[in-house]
Structure 1
Amino acid sequence: MTEATPTVAVVQLNGRGDWAANRAAVEPLIAAAAEGGASVVVLPENLLAMPADPRELVGMARLDTPGAVDDLVAWAGKHDIWLVAGTLPFVPDDPAETDRVFSRSLVIDSTGRIVAHYDKIHLFDVVLPDGESYRESATFVAGDRPVVVDTPAGRLGMATCFDLRFPELFTHLAAAGADWFCLPSAFTRATGQAHWEVLVRARAIENSCWLVAAAQVGRHADGRETFGHSLIVDPWGRVLADAGETADVVRLARLEYPWLRGLRERFPVRRLHRPEVFSDGR
């Protein structure tokens, strides 16, 4: 049963080019979250590495991901805390997929057991106004399964980075009983400056849920720059925590469930939602 006011933590990271470099930064941040009283900590996208070439993640999935998972499992048990373990590259079971991987987020409980995983559904294949381009589908296989899981901080709906732009995913997660969303991310500086906070706040407001968005920040090995500003936003759209552009930092906030129950009673947007009006019958 969820306590009335659990504490959650969000980690912001300046991701290095490999796990050996990242792991030295990650465990102290998990420890700080635990010391701050958090029951769950959300880590950012591309937790394993932000390499010079994203295609390196395909090889890293086989060579480095198993060791990183072992580390994360051990830290969850050591610090008695649940982890939403950002995203890691995972080799698909499909033998036809030999040169792409899943961008997978793990939920690890405080005994070190993996209780759920989510594969990023929406892949970032875009050209930005300044000409900078991304094609995640060259490296990653898209997931096809929304995930909701019970945690000590309440029922969690899982999403990753570019998923933020697709409100129907969050509506589905809310309808499945989510009380809060996680969003491991690596938003670019250009898109972050334009859209990050407004989209995070909108998804929280629309669904009467908290949103805990853990971001990468700063310049990385490939020369590209991420926006930072990891956020914890409440269901009324208020920013409870903002990590700014500080590298390797943790921020905490309390989820006030008595207040949430009152909000949903007075302002019942989820109950008043009428998806049947917009169904095309398929």
Structure 2
Amino acid sequence: MIRIAACQYAIELHESWAAYAEHLETLCAEAAGQGARLLVLPEYAGLVLAGQLAPEERGDLQASIAGIQPLLQDWRTLCIGIAARLGVYLQPGSLPVRDADGMYRNRAWLFGPGGELGHQDKLIMTRFEREQWGIAAGQGLKVFDTSLGRLGILICYDNEFPLLARTLAASGVDLILAPSCTDTEAGYHRVRIGAQARALENQIAVLQAPTVGLAPWSPALDENIGRAGLYVPPDHGMPSNGVFAESAELCPAASQWLICDFDLEAVRRVRAEGQVFTRRDWPEQFEKARLC
């Protein structure tokens, strides 16, 4: 049994490094203080760093992501320190990172008590990212072996594509972390439905953490709607609707943690003893789906 926490993360303005660092440390300590060992923040949570830029810079879509690049190493050091001090695994959301080829990619790191474990890039870009923001797609999926279990990360839109989660499941992942950022209720539901579907298809668990609230100072994060949730296959020992836990409010005024105790062994039992074997029967569906 592990205690895990997904944050409904309110986008707030922190105009100095000290203010931002205190905010992130306090927020993570709140969840760790309740016994959580895995903390997940949403997609583009790291873009809150842009609050430290001059108003005209943080208010410009392209300038805001360029402006935070000098802060990234200090941000990673901050996250490493938080994970070590609290003894937790921390996925602090994602943020745009400029690579050596000059392209920006939407990147999510995972930090553990012993340091940085690696990162996962978003693989499929939304229209906004591709057409307006110039964010490039990443390459390849990664798995993260932790003392809690084998984890994977699918960022927001990536949860809407079955083969990505299927690849992680085939690699032994039992829990997918799904940091998300959506500016409409429809967008939130697309990711949520995708997360539930991936849990059903692969007989695994998916933990979603969204951004919430209004941030008129940021052209990228100006409107945010979402609900944190943990989704599982609806089967023996699991909720009949596949919703293991979900935060009470769709869009709270302040950041809130969804904290729940979860046994990864329970999803493994479903795969071995469930009423259905959706994960096992994947190859059969491709054979039957061929046109005659």
- Give the TM-score, by structure 2 length: 0.81
Counterpart in the other structure of 2:283: 274
SS at the partner of 1:270?
A: coil
Quote the RMSD (CA, aligned, Å). 2.4
Aligned AA (1:117): H
Does the residue aligned with 2:99 lie in a helix, a strand or coil? coil
Q: 2:149 is aligned with what amino acid?
A: G
Please say if residues 90 and 103 of structure 1, whose CA atoms lie closer than 8 Å, have aligned partners that are also in contact: yes
Q: Using a 3 Å threshold, how does the CA distance of structure 1 residues 56 and 48 change in structure 2: closer, same or farther? A: farther
User: Equivalences for 1:182-193 in 2 at 5 Å?
Assistant: 182-192=177-187
Q: Deviations over 1:96-152 (max 9, x none)?
A: x2xx412111111112x1112111111111xxxxxxxx2445332210111111123
Matched letter for residue 144 of structure 1: Q
Give the superposition deviation at 1:17. 5.1
Given that 1:11 and 1:44 are in contact with CA atoms closer than 8 Å, whether structure 2 keeps it comes out as: yes
The count of aligned residue pairs is 263
Task: Determine if contact 2:205/2:267 at 8 Å carries over to the other structure.
Answer: no
The 1:136–1:218 alpha-carbon spacing in structure 2 relative to 1, beyond 3 Å, is farther
Q: Aligned pair 1:77/2:84, yes or no?
A: yes
Do 1:10 and 1:212's aligned partners in 2 also have CA atoms closer than 8 Å? Answer: yes
Mapped contact 1:218–1:228 kept (Cα < 8 A):
no
The residue correspondences of 1:130-141 to structure 2 (distance < 5 A) are 134-136=128-130, 138-141=133-136
From 170, 175, 180, give the equivalent of 2:175: 180
What is the deviation of 1:215?
A: 0.7
CA contact (8 A) 1:189 1:226 kept: yes
Going by fraction, where is helix more abundant, 1 or 2?
Answer: 2
Residue segments in structure 1 that go unaligned for 5+ positions in a row: 126-133
Runs of 4+ in 1 over 4 A off after TM superposition: none
Could you tell me which residue of structure 1 aligns to residue 161 of structure 2? 166
Q: What per-residue deviation string (whole Å, max 9, x for no partner) do you get for residues 26-62 of structure 1?
A: 2222112211212211111112225533323432342
The one-letter amino acid paired with 2:203 is S
For 1:212-227, what aligned pairs fall within 5 Å after superposition? 212-220=207-215, 221-222=217-218, 224-227=222-225
1:1-282 map, 5 Å: 5-16=1-12, 20=17, 22-50=20-48, 51-94=58-101, 97=102, 100-111=103-114, 113-125=115-127, 134-136=128-130, 138-192=133-187, 194-220=189-215, 221-222=217-218, 224-236=222-234, 237-242=242-247, 244=249, 245-246=251-252, 247-267=254-274, 268-274=277-283, 277=287
Note the C-alpha offset of 1:270.
1.6
Describe the SS at the equivalent of 1:262.
helix
**Contact 2:232–2:267 (Cα < 8 Å) also in 1:** no
Secondary structure of 1:7 counterpart: strand
**Counterpart residue identity of residue 196, structure 2:** R
Q: CA deviation at 1:91?
A: 2.0
Instruction: Give the match's secondary structure for 1:216.
Output: strand
Name the % identity: 25
SS at match of 1:48: helix
In 2 relative to 1, CA 84–49 (structure 1 residues): closer, same or farther, beyond 3 Å?
A: same
Residues 265 and 139 (structure 1 numbering): CA distance in 2 closer, same or farther, change over 3 Å? same
Say which is worse superposed, 245-254 or 210-219, in terms of deviation.
245-254
